[in-house]
Amino acid sequence: MRGLLFSFFLSFVGITAYTQQFNFVNYSIEDGLPQSQVTDILQDRFGYLWIGTETGLSRFDGIQFVNFSTDDGLPDNEIDKIYLDENGKVWIATPKGIAKYSNRTFESFPFSDSLNTEYRINDLCEIKGELFIAADEGLIVFRDSDFVFVEDDAEKFGSIRSLVNTGDSVLFCGTKSGLFQYKNDQFVRFENAEFDSINISDLVFRNNELLISTYGDGLIQFHLETALVKKNKLPVNRIRAIHANGNSIVCATKNGCIEIDSGEVNHYTMNNGLNFENIRSAYIDREGNIWLGSDGKGLFKLTGKSVTYFTKRDGLSSDAVMSISQDHGVHIILELMMQVSQSGQKISFKHLLKF
């Protein structure tokens, strides 16, 4: 028995590791979402959260979901992208057209007969009062209530996935075939060999810096004034979408969500609290809350709280903790229920661990 107890003591000595767990709240169809595949997330100027799904649009006030469909004026129920313009109006892109939400109603603009009946819309961006639309098929401008292709050579770019207006009347376009610009009514490749062969998934512009997420090359930071390029290799380098707010960046991947906050990297997966890893969209609201849109399990919100816990995997000899106390110093004492086998019989007893 002395040797048995000594072996328990040795197992406790090695407790130096710990596991940090993060708390997520999951909102699903049962909570009011129209569908479980969340395509996009956006917060409007009133604080409402807009959530796009494969079969409907939802507005969330933190308590209740209000859902919208073609019955409310949308061109289609499949929501590709949600955009907030400079006047605070919410735009919704669908395969069959776009819609503007204003004064509690939707004004719909279906794609005209001169275009195809459906498009794969990836992004929206306003520049000089005109709304530009990134699609797999090319770059479209919505002008005078009509849609006009300004670039449709798909062999040049593969597909246009993201747009950003850098504030100088130049539109940066992230494509499957690298980085392009639309300026002076011309769609041209951006003159920097660093970006010629990268497969871009998303673009974000902040503090004169272009954040470029890619399929395969992680996250790239490009400073427009200094032309400095910084490549960040992350736990997952195939990134589907990114969003930035202040010093924080969130990256949506098929293997969880990656948060970069002032240089510190957190990878949220099933190992530390996120119970579904196929993340399609990510968003940081004005209060700093992180929202994740999944490809099948609805909407997740990171509560901002974390729990550090110890288990048998970290060195404890039992997961059954009977009580916790503290001595007169700084030591924490755990009372554990142990069960071992001796001569074919199970023996249960209590053991105290101090650390």
In tens, the pLDDT along 55-105 reads 999 999 999 999 999 999 999 999 999 999 999 999 999 999 999 999 899
Q: Report d(CA 296, CA 279) in Å as an integer.
A: 9
Q: Tokens for 230?
A: 């910084």
- Nearest-5° Cα angle at 133, 179 to 241: 55
- DSSP category for residue 111: P
Q: Is the pLDDT of residue 155 over 90?
A: no
Q: What is the pLDDT of residue 169?
A: 78
Q: What is the pLDDT of residue 292?
A: 98
**154 neighbors 137 (Cβ within 8 angstroms):** yes
Q: Report d(CA 123, CA 212) in Å as an integer.
A: 14
Side-chain-side CA neighbours of 215 within 13 Å: the count stands at 12
Report which residue type is found at 47: G
Least confident interval from 8-12, 90-94, 253-257, 299-303: 8-12
| pLDDT digit string, tens, across residues 29-41 | 999 999 999 999 9
| pLDDT digit string, tens, across residues 191-214 | 898 998 899 999 999 999 999 999
Confidence grade of residue 151 (pLDDT, cut at 50, 70, 90): confident
Confidence grade of residue 261 (pLDDT, cut at 50, 70, 90): very high
**21 neighbors 273 (Cβ within 8 angstroms):** yes
What phi and psi, each to the nearest 5 degrees, are found at residue 201? -105, -30
**141 neighbors 150 (Cβ within 8 angstroms):** yes
Is this structure's pTM higher than 0.85?
A: no
The residue extents of the domains of the chain are 2-14+312-354, 24-309
Q: What percent of the chain shows pLDDT beyond 70?
A: 78
pLDDT averaged over every residue in the chain: 85
Q: What is the pLDDT of residue 7?
A: 40
94 Cβ contact list (under 8 Å, min separation 6): 74, 75, 76, 77, 78, 79, 80, 121
Q: Is the pLDDT of residue 353 over 90?
A: no
Q: Tokens for 259?
A: 């948060």
Q: The domain at 24-309 falls in which architecture? A: 7 Propeller (2.130)
Of residues 207 and 7, more confidence is placed in: 207
| pLDDT digit string, tens, across residues 232-243 | 989 999 999 999
